Structure 1
């Protein structure tokens, strides 16, 4: 099948899925094929009018199955990236032009030199502004429906996860560190660089994933020294240690795989009553939601009462002054155990050294002071209204009056408290490790006892006798099978002789020639070979259908995903074993990519206890 025919086939399947209301319209490999075919089309045209028409047609094709916000944020950028790569490698002919571009944020004009395909393969500025307006409406709706969280219960949960052990310890500790630091998932597990500062609750951070700023200080909800210690241990764990040697697409793929696994644990561990509800309009809690909740708690603990939380969070989230992203991180509101709002700010400032002043002096002339007046400032409560449940077990510094000590004495005392807390955490870890080691030793001893018992002479002799008995029974069965076959052959010969006596040789020959095709085929080696060659083709087609079905199922059932394997094809769908193995070998890369996306860890056990019968009914629609 040539490239044009392959593209038409993909488009036909795409439109068929749309008509059937399928959740998945285009699979990853199909989208890649569409993009590849589109680039090939651009190679053959040079006139701006034809390039514009090709771009418009491709966008309209995508709009048949996807909403514009999805195309603007995901699919159009993929096409544009492929176009840019084709231009860089000189696969696309030179077709550039100079034009005047106005920046969306500042409105400042700027001359650019651009290929016509990049000019046309995007929405207009008005369309992007309309999409921004829709996004702003969604954000406004969430601002009007803030989710309530008790910070003490949430922090207690994070503290438990920070000390997690067992099979999923790396995932649980990652959740805790993301929650305590407010950093993005990829920055915590691999991309970010963290170091101590002179302040007990600030870490120096470099390696921002969305590089708006270079290195800057970030607030930690527990002492920074403890966070750094646990972060270093996290990155040494077997699941994450290989990431340090990865770069580019390899690192991105590995992070995405771990991200799926961590998000699954977020749902299980945080979506408990009273811990962390999902956002308005969402059904699940994701690791990225923790960044918003970090902002609410950081404001409550550390934001000076005289500062507005918007400017405070904009600085510590790492956003530049011109960024509009900060407004998307106001998603939660804090309540006490009785459900009453906690509206005060900076309740912990009296126990710690002052935070460094925000770097806003030089930008004061550029900031529109009225811009922040649209939100009512947080109210300061009287001492009688202060919450009574401030028992943060994560912050060891004792209550002291700062006026009774000078700065050096205060810092020395606080440092001693932090060292005591670190030592306490170490003792807890040693205790956990000691218990695990004891349990492990007991398990080994039990296994060794079992092995010694099995290796005793009596046990070996008994096992040998059982094997000899099984061999004897097998030989007898084989002999009986041969005797039966000989008896059948003898009976058939006698039957043929008897029929020759009754009908004569010619009649018997004629009857044999008129036997059904199946019997002739059985006697024809050539036909048998041909049939064997045709069968795998049909089986491969059926395997492809089942693979498409399983990807659609996993998309719609993220909590009940199924792995794809030769065993599933053979045992569940009765696909010939050889064909099943050949198909899985041929599409090994795609299967592995899909398994990475859904977080398959052990192929042999992933489907255990899953809804196989439900999937079989689901897959019938693909037949």
Structure 2
């Protein structure tokens, strides 16, 4: 760990221009490696140091001619060890990115002497545009003729690959991707899921790891994707992508993948960081093992191995086979779903898409599968604009049972199931028992829909379900307001009520309970459909609902919008009766008064067979009483219809409390409404307070993240210079008083170390074997750490030299050349300080484990 004094000293060191001396050391090693024919010419740290030196040189160069000469010399230096294709496509891009970043950050300000303005025509649209750039961006690149020649060379190589397409067995490839995406083995799980997701979506591995954002659509094989790599600023990066496995499985795997600790810690790193590169190295090694060594995916001409990027080409072949319309060209079809051409306007074919036509599919007999769009009849592609809401994204539940499943719920079928086939009855009983015992809320929703016919919105939020005297009948209301009706169930009503309560208490269903029932229905539809296909003998939701209705005799609940049970004529007659009895108001009020009066008359009739009459009775009263007895018979005849009317009117009154109703019921409802309004006001106040706190915290986090990124860049730069300058053994000189003579004296050991290192270069013939041995040690220690997570070892110079007899200089060079791989090992093994991690440990057990592997 670098101390503040060392850091400050390093700042002074860099500011004094000693980057030039450091650059000379790097170039000496660079040219030695070229002469020795080594594959690695410059390490990533050394290359970054050269870029730092170049930026510092630009700051002191303030005219076009000098900048042009500087750029020309740097390109010539790179051409000593690298081909133009590598320089033009990779190395110069890193230089130019650093220059652009320095300009944007203000570290390399643009002036009239070091920059210029010019107009150009955009390649894709042909529109004229103007830009202002540093002369280094103008001259640090090849001319158009060179780039054209490089493109022709690339085209020639790609043509050779397209003229020699490689076969991929479709069933074996899909089986391997399916096995990886559903694996329960946690060993190296992050690499397995990365391969599976990349293979199923056709996305780049860095997009899968950190950059990409995936959401479900209404199509079972489409995801909406944002965060495309290799897009310039301002270009669209949001589009639909096809999946070669069901989208629900893929999105479930993505959520699981992003939650893994080894993946979560990489979210803030760029795709060019050593951490991400180290992760990709491990992914490619596993791809070679699972796909290349098993001969599922062949090596294409011009490549030495199968990488995860090659799976993108296999994905393209499968996407065409599954979904490309018969009369549409594969190139035009595939370039959209790869994200190469996103504009709705007519556009030329993307030059990138042909690089993914390197494979063709074969069946189990080795016969070519040339058909296109074999899944279109079942899953047609249309314009997808209705995406799942991105604000609320509850985690989709696994469709398979957990490793420790709960005891299965015992299912008692209703007598209604007796008429169906016995085999189907037994299959349903087993499937429903498993589904009601599942820990996944979407699987539970599918089971409840199958036995009640109700929607996800009613099950999760709005509906009320209560048991009744019939063990297979519920009292149900779709909104919890007003009238309740009977609802037949295909299993015990007690199990249904208990399962609804379990569903509403599920942690992953809580966010949905704040949404509208229609939103819940749309959100759950793809998950429920997948659960139905996985667990039940039906193909989709419609078949499930049809089966329920046929089984229950279409015993559905009457909605308020349905036609009233009492006709308009009977309503008119009821109003006329009320007028004759001096009963005014709504039909419900008339009916209420009529029932009260009928009850009084029945009580009176129990003691007298003649109409009640007093001396003070008036003739009008006698006439009314005699007429009322005639009305009683007619009223009782229509009693069922009038009660239904009352039920509907009361339900409307519950929804619209402004109407005139009996005062006793109004008081109860007004008290409830006032109580609810008070709760709503309190919740709104709490919500406003939380939103303010959240906004403040979010701003603090954003400020801390920006400051952290700046510190990381500074520390990384200083650590790079430190490693290249001082190695691992020398302490950093601390310049506390600015005394040049003191600094000069303390840097003398560096010259001695350099001289000593040059003397040892004559014996480099033995380093190749030593480094091979070091590689075997690294592989063996990786296996040891995976098998002994509580007794891990770090790779450092002491371990390689002392325990395994590897020459010290070879050990140091090996660690420099395999830095990213070693750092990845340490990260996976929770090694915080490689130098001190092994202290105090007995290496005998490790040596007993490693040495047989080295000898083999």
Partner of 1:189: 209
Partner of 1:293: 314
In the alignment, the residues of structure 2 paired with residue 128 and residue 202 of structure 1 have an alpha-carbon distance, to the nearest angstrom, of: 37
Partner of 1:566: 798
Q: Per the alignment, in what secondary structure is the counterpart of residue 608 of structure 1?
A: helix
Task: Map residues 2-151 of structure 1 onto 2, 5 A cutoff.
Answer: 2-88=18-104, 89-91=106-108, 94=111, 95-105=114-124, 109-151=128-170
**Which of the numbers 823, 834, 854 marks the counterpart of 1:596?**
823
Task: Map residues 158-169 of structure 1 onto 2, 5 A cutoff.
Answer: 158-164=177-183, 165-169=185-189
1:231 is aligned to 2:250: no
**Which of the numbers 166, 171, 176 marks the counterpart of 1:157?**
176
1:608 is aligned to 2:850: yes
1:306 is aligned to 2:327: yes
Deviations 1:222-252 (A, max 9, x none): 2211221222122222322334xx4254995
Task: Map residues 207-222 of structure 1 onto 2, 5 A cutoff.
Answer: 207-211=227-231, 212-222=235-245
In the alignment, the residues of structure 2 paired with residue 283 and residue 575 of structure 1 have an alpha-carbon distance, to the nearest angstrom, of: 30
Q: Per the alignment, in what secondary structure is the counterpart of residue 351 of structure 1?
A: coil
In the alignment, the residues of structure 1 paired with residue 815 and residue 365 of structure 2 have an alpha-carbon distance, to the nearest angstrom, of: 55
In the alignment, the residues of structure 2 paired with residue 8 and residue 73 of structure 1 have an alpha-carbon distance, to the nearest angstrom, of: 25
Structure 1 residue runs of 5 or longer lacking an equivalent are: 360-411, 425-532, 615-623
- Equivalent residues of 2:207, 2:228 under 8 A apart: yes
Q: How much does 1:309 deviate?
A: 1.2
Moved more, 600-609 or 280-289: 600-609
Structure with greater Cα Rg: 2
Q: How much does 1:574 deviate?
A: 7.4
Deviations 1:130-187 (A, max 9, x none): 1111111111111111110111111111111122213122211221221111122122
Q: How much does 1:561 deviate?
A: 6.1
- Equivalent residues of 1:570, 1:580 under 8 A apart: no
Task: Map residues 304-453 of structure 1 onto 2, 5 A cutoff.
Answer: 304-320=325-341, 321-322=347-348, 323-352=350-379, 354-357=380-383, 418-423=530-535
In the alignment, the residues of structure 1 paired with residue 211 and residue 25 of structure 2 have an alpha-carbon distance, to the nearest angstrom, of: 40
Distance 1:249 1:219, change over 3 A: closer
Distance 1:317 1:26, change over 3 A: same
Deviations 1:50-81 (A, max 9, x none): 22112111101110110001001111112222
In the alignment, the residues of structure 2 paired with residue 610 and residue 76 of structure 1 have an alpha-carbon distance, to the nearest angstrom, of: 45
Q: How much does 1:188 deviate?
A: 2.0
How many residue pairs get aligned? The number is 445
Q: How much does 1:86 deviate?
A: 3.5
Q: What TM-score comes out, normalization by structure 1 length?
A: 0.62
In the alignment, the residues of structure 2 paired with residue 82 and residue 414 of structure 1 have an alpha-carbon distance, to the nearest angstrom, of: 45
Provide the alpha-carbon RMSD of the alignment: 4.3
Distance 1:143 1:115, change over 3 A: same
Distance 1:575 1:338, change over 3 A: closer
Q: How much does 1:316 deviate?
A: 1.0
Distance 1:132 1:198, change over 3 A: same
Partner of 2:683: none
Partner of 2:504: none
Distance 1:147 1:552, change over 3 A: farther
- Equivalent residues of 1:558, 1:598 under 8 A apart: no
- Equivalent residues of 2:361, 2:369 under 8 A apart: yes
Q: How much does 1:296 deviate?
A: 0.3
In the alignment, the residues of structure 2 paired with residue 413 and residue 113 of structure 1 have an alpha-carbon distance, to the nearest angstrom, of: 51
Q: Per the alignment, in what secondary structure is the counterpart of residue 147 of structure 2?
A: helix
Distance 1:56 1:279, change over 3 A: same
Q: How much does 1:417 deviate?
A: 6.0
Distance 1:127 1:278, change over 3 A: same
Partner of 2:792: none
Distance 1:418 1:550, change over 3 A: farther
In the alignment, the residues of structure 2 paired with residue 74 and residue 575 of structure 1 have an alpha-carbon distance, to the nearest angstrom, of: 34
- Equivalent residues of 2:292, 2:306 under 8 A apart: yes
- Equivalent residues of 2:225, 2:238 under 8 A apart: yes
In the alignment, the residues of structure 2 paired with residue 25 and residue 555 of structure 1 have an alpha-carbon distance, to the nearest angstrom, of: 21
Structure 2 residue runs of 5 or longer lacking an equivalent are: 1-12, 342-346, 386-523, 537-747, 781-794, 839-845
Q: How much does 1:12 deviate?
A: 2.4
- Equivalent residues of 2:214, 2:223 under 8 A apart: yes
In the alignment, the residues of structure 2 paired with residue 258 and residue 215 of structure 1 have an alpha-carbon distance, to the nearest angstrom, of: 26
Distance 1:24 1:551, change over 3 A: farther
In the alignment, the residues of structure 2 paired with residue 539 and residue 600 of structure 1 have an alpha-carbon distance, to the nearest angstrom, of: 31
In the alignment, the residues of structure 1 paired with residue 810 and residue 166 of structure 2 have an alpha-carbon distance, to the nearest angstrom, of: 49
Distance 1:556 1:336, change over 3 A: farther
Q: Per the alignment, in what secondary structure is the counterpart of residue 377 of structure 2?
A: helix
Q: How much does 1:124 deviate?
A: 1.0
Deviations 1:78-136 (A, max 9, x none): 22223233434344673112233344556655332221122111111221111111111
Q: Per the alignment, in what secondary structure is the counterpart of residue 79 of structure 1?
A: helix
- Equivalent residues of 2:75, 2:140 under 8 A apart: yes
In the alignment, the residues of structure 2 paired with residue 9 and residue 253 of structure 1 have an alpha-carbon distance, to the nearest angstrom, of: 23
Q: What TM-score comes out, normalization by structure 2 length?
A: 0.46
Deviations 1:507-545 (A, max 9, x none): xxxxxxxxxxxxxxxxxxxxxxxxxx9999769966998
- Equivalent residues of 2:770, 2:806 under 8 A apart: no
